[in-house]
Structure 1
Amino acid sequence: MRLRRCHALLIEPRETRELDIAAVFAGEARMRSRIEWRGLAAHRDDCVTLSDAEVLALGEVSSTDWTEGEDFVRKHGEAVVRRLLDNGLLETEDAPDAGDAIVREGHWHRIAAVAHRHLRWQDTDTQKTTEALAGDSSLPPMLERLGPPPPPVAPRVDAARRQPLPASPETGFDRLLSRRVTCRNFDPARPLPLAMLATILQQVHGARATAEVTGVPLLKKAVPSAGGLHPVEAWLLVRRVDGLAPGLYHYHSTDHALEPMRALDAEEADGLALRFVAGQTWFAQAPVYVMLVARFQRNFWKYRGHAKAYRAVILDAGHLSQAQYQLATELGLGAFITAAANEGEIERALGLEPMRDGVLAVTGFGYRAGEMVDLEFDPLKAVWPAPA
């Protein structure tokens, strides 16, 4: 038997605070710190609590070269090696781990791989989580509990040394940006026209041109992307679009077409919508969600194990979101983006493997409701005029 360590593994000394029982029996109530070793692997959703002996063993085996198992077991003990094998932190040559192979073959930077895997949410309800962690999330209690926030701008020189700049003249684009407000109030009774959905998909996510450069197929879109690779694709949860059945779809960016993935009835679609955005009810009435999903190998094929590759993919999602916001605003629609999403739930619904096709954010758009029930940040009063 030969073995090796999994490809991407972070070992963290995790500290938790707990009641000191011995002190309680002595008549004193106090907390104490407890530190445990935790192993976070890029091919596992859960973390593994490790003993000192297991941490030592992991530090003495390669993730690339195969190690003779008999010698390794003799040195570290059968129980240690068996537990590491059972938890997928070690693999044997004759029974390689399929999940680890996906990460290994995907050319991930190791730290980025672990971060992507373990910062995803599954079955999270933001309402319950916020209340449990911080209590009332309205601003006055937050200020009392957390203290004042950092200032909006951190000055770097004295005010007298600042160089004033001329004000720009107002343009149509300026007026458009003034109306760009995250929508939290969608009209549940007004479906989106299919033509309007098609316009947003084509203008934001569609390929304007394709080209082969020295044998590499590249795309020209409305937004920039590292190497012209455009790895972030649009997957849709459609609920209320005229002429389009509710369901899950993938947008084919070069053919400008929707690929049906799974039909949904209205109740299923509503349930998925709320779970996708982790219980954020103010987004749940949007008639269309667009999930920004990265095909990591499209980027990592070129930028193999690169420390900046994952960051470049995240930037792509931001570019697409802003383009979608601007176009939706121009069309008279409200739009949103949220990172508070249940990526695990979305992956299961769409049939995605997170280290191949990773959910980065959920966006959406639709007609605004006639009344602001949930507060929207509109300081310019461009969308919601001040009451008379």
Structure 2
Amino acid sequence: MHVRRCATVFLEPREEAGFDLDVLLSGGDGLRRTLRWLALAPHLGEEVEIDAIEREVLGAFSPGQWVDAAALAVHPAAAVQRLLDEGLLIADAAKHAQWRQRDEALRGVHWHPLAATLHAFTRWSGVDAVQNSKDSGTETAVQMREVLGAPPVEAARRGDGAPQLKLPRVEATDFDRLLARRVTCRNFDPARPLPFELFAQVLQRVFAAQAEVRVSADTVFLKKNVPSGGGLHPMECYLVVQHVDGVAPGLYHYQAVEHALEPLPAPAGRSWSDGSLRQFVQDMVAQQHWFADAHVVVLLSPRFDRTFWKYRQHAKGYRVVALEAGHLSQTLYLSATEAGLGAFITGAINEKELEQAFGLDPISQGALAICGFGWRGDRMDTAELDPAEAIWAPGPA
């Protein structure tokens, strides 16, 4: 057997404080502080607490050089065994194949170490963002001000007192009026089906390949209606279709070259025949119920292996992937608004459940954000930010 350290691991000395009456009575501040060492390895995706001995043993191994098992005798056997069992040390023995395969997969995608760790440890599972806001007393803007204090200024001013150069405000055009109607929709009308042609038009404008450049038989670049780092367009779109004429409710993969839907099975233990698709959407958007009735929900799922094929261990690789989600969502907003529809995007999503539902491996392909579109309802039950009243006319005095 041969052993090496996993490709990427960061060690965090995490201090935790809790009330202790004895500390208070002895003249202290009433808080007992404890220090824990946590190993953060992206191929595992879960924190692993280690002790001081295990920490030193882990640091003695190279991530790139295999060591023969005979050399392990210089280290405490119990520490080595636990690090092997947890997947922080990688062995080429058959019984350790699970962790070795995950570690090799991470190496093969060419992640930047910090980006891999950020991605792995900011994924949610089972989070209820709405209840969290209630519990923290920050549901409304007024509550946020009371609990969090004043926010940073809404628009910074610089120039050290020098006179400003005022710019002219030009007369609004149709495009300006379109931008004014670009308001995040939180009130969808599920009783009004979305026409099939309109559904197809939005997907074509936002997500479809418009042309391609074939460099060789196995190297193709696509032209889409949004910019993409390196022209690689790694973003795949997975759909939850709820209220579209001619499309059965369920999960789909959108094929950008063929401009076609590929039906996907329901996740294990779920069936859409019982009307649970709406609850599935609500679970995936961390209980933000105002998005649960959207006619079409789109998971933006980047193929990291495509972007990192070019940008290997690149400090900016993950950033350009995240930027692409913004480009797509803005194009969706404008396309939906022009068609008379509402749109939204949210980063408050339960990534781990989404990965399971759509069969995604977060090392090579992740869940980055969820957007969607559909008919806006005729009543604003949930507040929308529309201060210019471009969408919602003021009510009766």
Q: TM-score, normalised by structure 2?
A: 0.93
8 A Cα contact 2:23 2:32, kept in partner: no
Residue 92 of structure 2 aligns to which amino acid in structure 1?
A: E
Q: How does 1:178-193 map to 2 (within 5 A)?
A: 178-193=180-195
Residue 23 of structure 1 aligns to which amino acid in structure 2?
A: V
Corresponding residue for residue 83 of structure 1: 82
Shift of 1:130: 2.5
Separation in 1, partners of 2:44, 2:119: 11
8 A Cα contact 1:235 1:249, kept in partner: yes
Q: How does 1:292-371 map to 2 (within 5 A)?
A: 292-371=300-379
8 A Cα contact 2:282 2:292, kept in partner: yes
Separation in 2, partners of 1:267, 1:44: 35
Residue 43 of structure 1 aligns to which amino acid in structure 2?
A: H
8 A Cα contact 1:205 1:320, kept in partner: yes
Shift of 1:9: 1.2
Greater shift after overlay, 215-224 or 362-371? 215-224
8 A Cα contact 1:186 1:366, kept in partner: yes
Identity of aligned residues (%): 46
- Between the two proteins, the alignment pairs up a number of residues equal to 386
Corresponding residue for residue 205 of structure 2: 203
The reply to whether residue 276 of structure 1 matches residue 276 of structure 2 is no
8 A Cα contact 1:236 1:290, kept in partner: yes
Corresponding residue for residue 126 of structure 1: 129
8 A Cα contact 1:53 1:76, kept in partner: no
Corresponding residue for residue 40 of structure 1: 40
The RMSD of aligned alpha carbons is 1.7
Query: Any stretches of 5+ residues in structure 1 without a counterpart?
Result: none
The reply to whether residue 112 of structure 1 matches residue 111 of structure 2 is no
Shift of 1:202: 0.7
Separation in 1, partners of 2:193, 2:49: 49
Corresponding residue for residue 214 of structure 2: 212
Shift of 1:26: 4.8
Separation in 2, partners of 1:106, 1:334: 36
The reply to whether residue 230 of structure 1 matches residue 233 of structure 2 is yes
Alpha-carbon distance change, 131 to 33 in structure 1, aligned in 2, over 3 angstroms: farther
Q: TM-score, normalised by structure 1?
A: 0.95
Greater shift after overlay, 193-202 or 91-100? 91-100
Residue 40 of structure 2 aligns to which amino acid in structure 1?
A: L
Shift of 1:272: 0.9
CA deviations over 1:331-372 (Å, ceiling 9, x no partner): 011100000001111111111111111011000111111100
8 A Cα contact 1:66 1:93, kept in partner: no
Q: Secondary structure at the match of 1:64?
A: coil
Residue 184 of structure 1 aligns to which amino acid in structure 2?
A: R
Separation in 2, partners of 1:119, 1:28: 35
Corresponding residue for residue 253 of structure 2: 250
Greater shift after overlay, 136-145 or 357-366? 136-145
